[in-house]
Structure formats: C-alpha cells, structure tokens
A and B are shown apart, each in its own frame.
Chain A
Amino acid sequence: MVDATSPTAGRILEGPRGSKPKSRLSRRNIFLYGTLLLVSIYYLLPLYVMIVTSLKGMPEIRLGNIFAPPVEITFEPWVKAWAEACTGINCDGLSRGFGNSVKILIPSLILSISIASVNGYALANWRFKGSEVFFTILIIGAFIPYQTMLYPIVIILREIGLMGSLWGLVLVHTVFGMPILTLLFRNYFTSLPEELFKAARVDGAGFWGVYFRVMLPMSIPIFVVAMILQVTGIWNDFLFGVIYTKPETYPMTVQLNNIVNSVQGIKEYNVNMAATLLTGLVPLVIYFVSGKLFVRGIAAGAVKG
C-alpha cells in the first residue's frame, strides 16, 4: 500500500491521514493518483463507449473500433431512440414511457419512503414485543428473488382489488423497497442520541409528535439517501413495471427492453445505446447532482449498526 509508514520527523504532526504532501510528485502520490486514474478508466469506459457509440452512424460502427471517437457526430440515434424507435407497431420511441415512469415514480417514492421511515423509527425507538422478529423477516425478505414472489403477489393484489392499477404497482415497490430502506432508517434513527427521544417524550410528544417534530427535521440526510436509492430502484425496474401496468402506461424501461430486444433487420447499436442512456438519464442526473448529499447521508448514520 501507500508508503507513508516511515516515521520521518514532522510527519507525525501533519495529521492522521497523510494530509497534503510536500512534493506533488512524491512516490506516494504517483502511486495514489495512478491507482485512482487506472480504476477510473475501468469505471468510465462503458459510459464512454455508450456515449461515443450513440453519436456514430451505423456504417461507422460496423468499421469496428468501439473506442474510437465518432468521425462524424450525429444525433440521429438519439432522436430515433426518443421519438421514432419501434416496438411492434408503435413507433414513438421512449418518449411515451418517460411520463409513465414519472407517474409511477412519484407516488411509489413517497409511499415507500414514508412507510419505511416510520418502520425504522418504530424499530429504533418504540420497540415492542416481536418487532425485531418482523424486522428479521423483512431482512431475509431482501434475499428473496422477486420473481419467486410474482404469483403470490398477483394473488394478493387480485384479492385486494389493486391488480392492474397504478396503486398496485406503487404497493409492490413499497413492499420490495421496504427491507433495505427500513434497515437504513432503523440504523439512522438508532444512531441519533437516545436522550433526545427521551426529552421529547418528557415534553409530552407522542409517537407521531416525536417523529414529525423531532426526528424528521433531523433526518434530511437519510431521506436523501433513501430517495436516491428508491429513484434508482423504481426507475430501473422492469419486471414489476411490465407485469403490473398496461401498454399505455408502460414505464421507460419496458420500452427500452422493447427497443433493444426488437431486432429489426440489423441491431442498431447506436440507437440502443442512445435509448439506454436516455433511460438511465434520470438516475444518472440525480447521482451527479446529489452524489455529495448521498455520501453525506450514508455517513450521517446509515451505516451504524
């Protein structure tokens, strides 16, 4: 690893984690940044390839080198992916799915996060007999492949009359988002000082009072984390989206799958890549914009057991 072990005088005073080195080209620095840059290539390569490919015309793609930048930049694949690509007989690209995805995302996001945060809060501060058992079941539930639950869920939704409705889908997202979110919220609320909770109870705040007046205002970071995780999860969902919706309300991922898997003649890699990027755009933007908050939120206690 990094060579900073030699206890040269003065180093000790520099601070714990090697702080700013004196020389920009020290061996340690070359190693450190070298490693980071190398790893960055691994992480950036697919994105680079996707972007570059999506800007090429098909003839250029057939020439071979997927890493070469486009000789002639064309936005046609993007236009096609957004508005023209066909699935079956519908040729309106991804555009239709975008609005649907948003319509699915918003209520799912709100419901799943509200329920999971209240769960986490109850588990952290208001334990009752059996609460840990339910929580353990929930955590094990995180390991069940969703597909196994497909039929039972169909039956449950049918029985409560939500099959095929938007709310059925919202419910499914809430249920399957619950394990990890509840774990995060529970850990976060556990990490908050318990005396604060006690003080609020002495001050006469009940279950909801403490939650809304004391806990909630202190929990912005973890809500950001939950929101980012859920936006990603719900937006990227294909399985539930396709089963619990109808063609006119198919989310974007279903249309992405249709475009990518509808091979008409030859595979239009550029359109596929553009469609892929378009579909990933919402979560990507959220990550790029609020990545810092995400890290902070996780640091703010989501990881404390």
Chain B
Amino acid sequence: MNINSHSVEVRDLDLHFGEVKVLQELNIDIHEGEFLVLLGSSGCGKSTLLNCIAGLLDVTDGQIFIKGQNVTWKEPSDRGIGMVFQSYALYPQMTVEGNLSFGLKNARVARDEIAKRVARAAEILQIEPLLKRKPGALSGGQRQRVAIGRALVRDVDVFLFDEPLSNLDAKLRTDLRVELKRLHQQLKNTMIYVTHDQVEAMTLADRIAIMKGGKIMQLGSPDEIYNRPQNIYVAGFIGSPAMNMIEGRIDNGHFAGHDLSLPLDGYEFERTDHHAGPVAIGIRPEHVLTGDAVETAAAQAEVEVQIVEKLGSDTLVHSTLGSLNLRFRMDGLSRVTEGDRLRIGFDTSRASLFDAVTETRL
C-alpha cells in the first residue's frame, strides 16, 4: 500500500466541548491531489473538523496525519497547510504584499525567495496591481483572492477552505468558484473545502463528505452522493427541490404504500431485497416521468397539481396524490396550471430505498 497516496488521514477523531460531543469517532482518508468538500448544515461539525485538521483546535482523542506525518499535536504552521477563511481574515494594517509574505517571514524564508513566491501567487491570482494596497481598499472579491494567495505562497501540500465564498455576492461567487476549480487543476494540491452550499460542493468536489451531528453521513463522489445516497438524511439534504419520500413496505418485489405499488425489478439492492420492516422509497423530482414517457413506466398514478414554479429551464410542480405530496420537474415549456390533473410514472431503477427504522439504504 502506498502511504503517500493518502494526503490527509483522520483517525478516530473525538472532540468534546465539556459535555457536548462536537465530533465523534470520525475517520476520513483524503487522497493526494483530491478536492474534498465537507458539506452539511450549520452546526454539523464541518468547520470544527477543518479547524482540527488545521491545528486550530485541540482534539480530545484520535490522530491526524498529513503526508504520513502524525501532526495531531503540531502547531498549525508546522503541518504544511494553507488556509482560507470566510471573512478573508486579512491583516488590516499590512499591505497585500505584507499579508502574503507574513507567513513566510515567520518561517524565516529568504527574502528573494519570498519575493519570488509572492510574485508567482500574485500572477496566478491576477492581483499584481494590488500588492501595495491595504485590505481596506480592496473589494470583497479582491480580498478573497489575496486570502487565497496567502495560502498559495506557503507552497503547501494541503489547502483548507472554510466557506471561502459565503461572504461574496452570487455573481462573484460563481466566478470565483470556477476560478478555484481551475486553480485546483493547475496546482493539483489536496484541497479540503467546507461549505453549506451544495452547488459549490457538487461542482468543485472530487468527493463530498456529508456531515451531521459530528459524524460523516456519507463520503463519496458527487455522483454517488446524488444518485446513491446511503441514508435518508443524505437523500434529503442533497438535491433541490428535495427528494420525494414515500413510506411503505416491500411486498413481493414491489414497494407498497399510499395506494401505490411500484415494481422494484430495476432497483439494485445493496444489502437485502427481503426486508420485512417499514421502508421508505426516495424518488428525485426529475425521476418522476411525465408526458409521453409516462406510458413506458411500470407504475403510474394520477396527481392533482397544487403549485407551479416556472424556473425557465424547467418547471417545478408541487402536487398531491391522496395524502401524499409529490414534487416533480417538467420541461420549461410545459403548460400546466394549478388544479390540473396529471398522469405521472415512476422509474424505480433510479430510486433509493431505505430502511425506515435505521434510515440506511437497502
């Protein structure tokens, strides 16, 4: 086994603040050059985990390795990391150049080397004209570039991002997102990126770790996370609008519940196909078939349209089927209005089936 293929490893990490267990038994391996996104709602422990990796928080138990080195009790600056913060955290009294070189000066890097690295970072981030300015005279986007530059000059193996784009407006956020992606492709460093924005997560990540209550709910590629959520939490968290969840049972190769009977022939069971207890089936809005496609579906039903949201590219329909609320997507040009009755079909091969008690995928 090639040790170096693991850039960052977290082993059995625990972090308690008094009685509160913020991180519990956390394990994660991050590969060399990987872009890992820690995703979750606020309070899930994602930023805390990042701070532990950075060495800004003392762990209660467990070990952290970076590049095969046990860094659990090392100073942040000795871990070979660079970090970018949400609020940019630029030193207000120093110029951009001072901000970029501060860490290098602390590490007693030779002066010409500092100049070289600052120049290179400034070039990469296109902030050369700003070098003599103070942070107060910069726009939000410029400040965030400088913050990224500060991590860049350190010439480190691992970049840590703590919600770096949250303070920016929507347009700038999209631009910088693309730029970050490009930066990753160019530098090929390991990057760990914390966000609560699933679009950022899906677009940037090689792998996503979804966290909740100090635990990792699922770790996988965006594709896996989206298409094969391992539990109800992940299924509900990822995707907008959220997945339709229908409760019922498995009966003779069919899902049965809410007067629906959906054949499960196409579904790839990961564990067992004979589950006696209550289950829940999750179907993404885009996997509900409408229009001509309905005819091809093995199971069909008629729903009543309640609300129609026109998004331009497609149309989002909120409907009811008996007591069940169902959301689905239609083409942007489809003409449905509130009160219409529509026939829809279900494609169970792309659905997710969960044990309703343990909430894990079947």
Complex CA distance for A200 and B91, rounded to whole angstroms: 8
Residue in B51, B76, B162 with the greatest tally of chain A CB atoms within 10 Å: B76
For B83, list chain A residues within 8 Å (CB): 198-199, 202
Complex CA distance for A202 and B82, rounded to whole angstroms: 7
Please state if B85 and A195 are interface contacts (CB–CB under 8 Å): yes
Residue in B81, B82, B83 with the greatest tally of chain A CB atoms within 10 Å: B83
For A203, list chain B residues within 8 Å (CB): 77, 102-103, 106, 150, 154
Interface residue? B107 (CB, 8 A): yes
Interface residue? A10 (CB, 8 A): no
Partner of B89, one of A193, A204, A205, A206: A193
Using CB atoms, name the residue of chain A closest to B77.
A204
Please state if B102 and A213 are interface contacts (CB–CB under 8 Å): yes
Complex CA distance for A214 and B92, rounded to whole angstroms: 9
For A199, list chain B residues within 8 Å (CB): 83, 85, 89-91, 147, 150
If the complex has contacts A196-B91, A209-B106, A218-B93, are A201 and B75 also in contact, measured as CB distance less than 8 A?
Answer: yes
| Interface residue tally on B, bucketed by range | 20 to 34
Please state if B51 and A198 are interface contacts (CB–CB under 8 Å): yes
Interface residue? B56 (CB, 8 A): yes
Residue in A201, A202, A204, A209 with the greatest tally of chain B CB atoms within 10 Å: A202
Interface residue? B86 (CB, 8 A): yes
Interface residue? A217 (CB, 8 A): yes
Complex CA distance for A213 and B105, rounded to whole angstroms: 11
Partner of B76, one of A196, A201, A217: A201
For B250, list chain A residues within 8 Å (CB): none
Interface residue? B49 (CB, 8 A): no
Partner of A204, one of B51, B56, B86, B106: B106
Please state if A198 and B54 are interface contacts (CB–CB under 8 Å): yes
For B162, list chain A residues within 8 Å (CB): 195
| Interface residue tally on A, bucketed by range | 10 to 19
Using CB atoms, name the residue of chain B closest to A193.
B87
Chain A 176-227 interface residues, beta-carbon cutoff 8 Å to B? 193, 195-196, 198-206, 209, 213-214, 217-218
Complex CA distance for A218 and B77, rounded to whole angstroms: 22
Please state if B51 and A202 are interface contacts (CB–CB under 8 Å): no
Chain B proximity of A64: nearest CB distance (Å): 59
Complex CA distance for A237 and B78, rounded to whole angstroms: 49
For B107, list chain A residues within 8 Å (CB): 204
Using CB atoms, name the residue of chain B closest to A196.
B89
Using CB atoms, name the residue of chain A closest to B81.
A202
Complex CA distance for A209 and B91, rounded to whole angstroms: 13
Complex CA distance for A206 and B107, rounded to whole angstroms: 11
Residues of B within 8 A of A (CB): 51, 54-56, 75-78, 81-83, 85-93, 102-103, 106-107, 147, 150, 154, 162
Residues of A within 8 A of B (CB): 193, 195-196, 198-206, 209, 213-214, 217-218
Q: List 30 A-B contacts (CB under 8 A).
A: A193-B87, A193-B89, A195-B85, A195-B86, A195-B88, A195-B89, A196-B89, A198-B51, A198-B54, A198-B85, A198-B89, A199-B83, A199-B85, A199-B89, A199-B91, A199-B147, A200-B102, A201-B56, A201-B77, A202-B54, A202-B77, A202-B81, A202-B83, A203-B154, A204-B77, A205-B102, A213-B102, A217-B91, A218-B92, A218-B93
